[in-house]
């Protein structure tokens, strides 16, 4: 792949594991200038070191995207280090695995919305003036649940639908600014996110209900995202099932409901 992101300043949230980590490693191979954010600073620093070993510059910034002033600090750290920002990848996410009627603590839904939606809003707010200056790129890592509701994921689907509405609106508002907005809609990806998924009691379920060996790897996912960023695509729906689902929802919505239920039951 042509190193289109060489010397581009790229900030990635949720970069200590999963898709965010793999994006960092693959962009490091292009010699990007990386600003990596996550809550776990030890894991994050390990990823930053791996990026440096690939010849990239990388800094690790501890950030909980649910807290606005930490998002400001994350973006400020990028500017203080590199004096500009070319790409913001809003990747941090938390999920759930519980039917709505089984949820005992409603604060679960508020927490998911705060991390997945408001975390993207906060980081984007502070990044936007710098992205306008560089005519840069905004990227939101959503999910197929941002296109269609899925059983056991009510709060997660709501947060991803909110992300979609927010970034689709921004795309229109920023049309004349030179800033592109790319939304990414993966299906199941083999990351730790489902082991940390919140159950009905608000605690991580610890064991993934998905057949992780039968779904897309983070490496495959990142390898699809980076060209979409390069081309400033409007959106990327990754799976055939996801693409079909969008069309079927227009003509046979009840069938999409059945497909979503089956996917959760099969765990893939």
Say which CATH number the domain at 219 has. Answer: 3.40.50.720
Number of domains in the chain: 1
Question: Is there a domain that residue 244 lies in?
Answer: no
Question: Are the C-beta atoms of residues 17 and 89 closer than 8 Å to each other?
Answer: no
Q: Are strands 57-62 and 33-38 parallel, antiparallel or unpaired?
A: parallel
Question: Is there a domain that residue 143 lies in?
Answer: yes
* Given the residues 117, 122, 126, 156, the one annotated as active site: 156
Question: Is there a domain that residue 245 lies in?
Answer: no
Domain housing 89: 9-239
The per-residue pLDDT string of the chain (268 residues; one tens digit each, 9 = 90 and over) reads 678 999 999 999 999 999 999 999 999 999 999 999 999 999 999 999 999 999 999 999 999 999 999 999 999 999 999 999 999 999 999 988 889 999 988 999 999 999 999 999 999 999 999 999 999 999 999 998 888 888 888 999 999 999 999 999 999 999 999 999 999 999 878 766 655 678 888 787 766 555 555 578 999 999 999 999 999 999 999 876 666 666 666 666 676 677 667 766 655 4
pLDDT value, residue 173: 97
Rounded CA separation 239/260 (Å):
13
pLDDT value, residue 97: 86
pTM of this prediction?
0.89
Question: Is there a domain that residue 135 lies in?
Answer: yes
pLDDT value, residue 268: 46
Question: Are the C-beta atoms of residues 26 and 6 closer than 8 Å to each other?
Answer: no
pLDDT value, residue 154: 93
Question: Is there a domain that residue 57 lies in?
Answer: yes
Rounded CA separation 99/256 (Å):
18
Residue 126: active-site member: no
């Amino acid at each position: 792949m042509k190193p289109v992101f060489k010397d581009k300043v790229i900030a990635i949230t949720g970069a200590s594991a999963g898709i965010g980590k793999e994006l960092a490693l693959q962009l490091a191979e292009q010699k990007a200038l990386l600003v990596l954010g996550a809550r776990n600073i030890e894991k994050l620093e390990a990823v930053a070191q791996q990026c440096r070993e690939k010849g990239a510059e990388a800094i690790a910034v501890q950030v909980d995207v649910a807290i606005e002033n930490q998002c400001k600090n994350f973006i400020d750290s990028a500017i203080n280090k590199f004096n500009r920002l070319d790409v913001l990848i809003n990747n941090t996410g938390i999920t759930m695995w519980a039917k709505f009627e089984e949820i005992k603590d409603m604060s679960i839904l508020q927490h998911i919305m705060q991390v997945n939606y408001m975390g993207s809003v906060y980081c984007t707010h502070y990044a936007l003036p710098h992205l306008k200056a560089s005519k840069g790129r905004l990227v939101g890592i959503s999910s197929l649940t941002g296109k269609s509701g899925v059983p056991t994921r009510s709060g997660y689907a709501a947060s991803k639908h909110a992300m979609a509405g927010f970034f689709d609106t921004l795309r229109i508002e920023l049309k004349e600014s030179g800033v592109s907005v790319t939304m990414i809609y993966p299906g199941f990806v083999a990351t730790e996110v489902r082991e940390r998924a919140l159950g009905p009691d608000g605690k991580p379920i610890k064991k993934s209900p998905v057949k992780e060996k039968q779904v897309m790897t983070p490496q495959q996912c990142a390898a699809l995202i980076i060209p979409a960023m390069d081309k400033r695509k409007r959106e990327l729906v990754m799976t055939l099932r996801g693409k079909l689902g969008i069309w079927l929802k227009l003509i046979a919505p009840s069938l999409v409901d059945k497909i979503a239920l089956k996917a959760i039951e099969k765990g893939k």
